[in-house]
Amino acid sequence: MSLTAPFHPVDRKGFTLLEVLLAVVLMVTGSVFLLQAIGTGLFSGGVNESELIAYNLAAEKMESLENTAYASIVNEAKAAVSGFPSFQRQVAVTTPQTDLKQITVTTYWTVKGTEIGTTLVTYSSNA
C-alpha cells in the first residue's frame, strides 16, 4: 500500500502567469530602488571625502600662515594645490583695523560640474 495519494490533474497547485508576472515586477521594482540607494550612498561618501580633504587643505594653509611674519601675509590667487589636482586654494587678506589682518582661506573643488568651496577665517595682529 502506497503512502502517497495518486496524482490527479485537478489536484495540481501552482502559480498562474499573472502571479508570476506580478512577482517579477515587484522584485524588479525593489531592486531598482535598492540600487539607487546604494548609488546615492556611494556618491555621498565621495562628497564627504572631498569636503574633508578641502577642509584639511585650508587648515594646512592657515597653519603655514600662522608661522609667517605679519608683513608677509598677502593675498594669493586661486591656484591648484600641489599633490591634489582636483582642488584649488585661494587666500584673501583684508585689514579691518590698523595692525589687524583678516585672513580667509578658501579651498575649491568640483562636484557634478558645480564648484564648491570650504572657507576658514582667522585674524593676525601686528603685535
pLDDT digits (tens, 9 = 90+) for 93-113: 999 999 999 999 999 999 888
The CA–CA distances, whole Å, from 57 to 2, 68, 77, 79, 106 equal: 81, 17, 15, 13, 9
* Interior angle at CA 113, CA 109 and CA 117, nearest 5: 30
Whole-model pTM?
A: 0.65
Asked whether the predicted pLDDT for residue 38 surpasses 90, the reply is no
Tell me which of 28 and 88 has the higher pLDDT: 88
Per-domain residue ranges of the chain? 17-125
Strands in the chain per DSSP E: 76-81, 84-97, 100-111, 114-125
